[in-house]
Amino acid sequence: MKRIAALLFFSVLFWVPAHAQLGVKGGINAAVLQGTVGTNATYQTSYHAGIFYEMQVLDPVLSIQPELLYSLQGTERKSDLVNYRSKLHYLNLPVLAKVEIGPVYAEAGPQVGFLLKAREDGVMVISQDGNNGAVIASNDRSSWNDYKKFDLGFAVGAGVKLPLGFAVGARFNAGLNNINNLKSVQGVNDPELKNRVFQVYASFQLPDGD
């Protein structure tokens, strides 16, 4: 099933009809892993960037927009004992249906993500010394084996097209499958981790060739 989904996404991405506009985009992420390491998990700020095609289906109201995006996701955890970030580097391929009313548009559609790299970095308190001081240890390691390499999700957003091919928008990406690849010995109460990402972006489209 995963191979079929990936094939469909790549097929749509590289199918370019006559009325298609190539664009570039980038912006800010606010990302967290839902169901993660406790109530002190918070959103971390990162970024995304990539390219897209807007392919007209019913000009000028409806279009299909496949994208190819690098996205830094994960989560941040802060408490009295730990302060670290999980950094998950994804190659995401959303394919969105886009409805326009004047300069305003709404978009929604599926997304597949492929994990490129995963790391943990930060510090944690491992013990107390004789003077009631904290003994701190660094936590900087690869967490590649902690996460599944494929993520299936859904994206929804809206934006405004500006003059000269520019646009600004916001989007929410919700992962649908559990990406946790760590299992306890008993396999009981293993946390389910799902990507949740809010995005704010700016984009620029090249003029239509027609």
Q: Is the pLDDT of residue 16 over 50?
A: no
Give the pLDDT confidence score for residue 13 in this predicted structure.
Answer: 47
Give the pLDDT confidence score for residue 106 in this predicted structure.
Answer: 98
Q: Is the pLDDT of residue 132 over 50?
A: yes
Among 5-9, 156-160, 178-182, top mean pLDDT goes to 156-160
Rounded Cα distance, 182 and 145, in Å:
8
Closest CA to 31 of 149, 153, 124: 153
Do 73 and 31 meet the contact criterion of CB atoms below 8 Å apart?
Answer: yes
Question: 72 pLDDT band (50/70/90 cuts)?
Answer: very high
Q: Is the pLDDT of residue 7 over 60?
A: no
Give the pLDDT confidence score for residue 208 in this predicted structure.
Answer: 73
Q: How far is CA 94 from the centre of its chain?
A: 10
Q: Is the pLDDT of residue 5 over 60?
A: no
Q: Is the pLDDT of residue 70 over 50?
A: yes
For residues 49-68, average pLDDT: 95
**Residue 119: what residue type?**
R
Q: Which domains does the chain have, with CATH numbers?
A: 2-205 (2.40.160.20)
Do 152 and 174 meet the contact criterion of CB atoms below 8 Å apart?
Answer: no
Please state, in angstroms and as integers, the Cα–Cα distance from residue 172 to each residue in 31, 78, 84, 158, 175, following that order. Answer: 10, 24, 24, 10, 10
Across the chain, mean pLDDT equals 84
| Stated pTM of the model | 0.84
Q: Is the pLDDT of residue 11 over 60?
A: no
Range of weakest confidence among 3-12, 54-63, 107-116, 192-201: 3-12
Burial 115-132 (b: 16+ CB within 10 A, else e): beebebeeebeeeeeeee
Rounded Cα distance, 208 and 74, in Å:
36
Rounded Cα distance, 29 and 44, in Å:
8
Give the pLDDT confidence score for residue 91 in this predicted structure.
Answer: 98
Rounded Cα distance, 23 and 103, in Å:
17
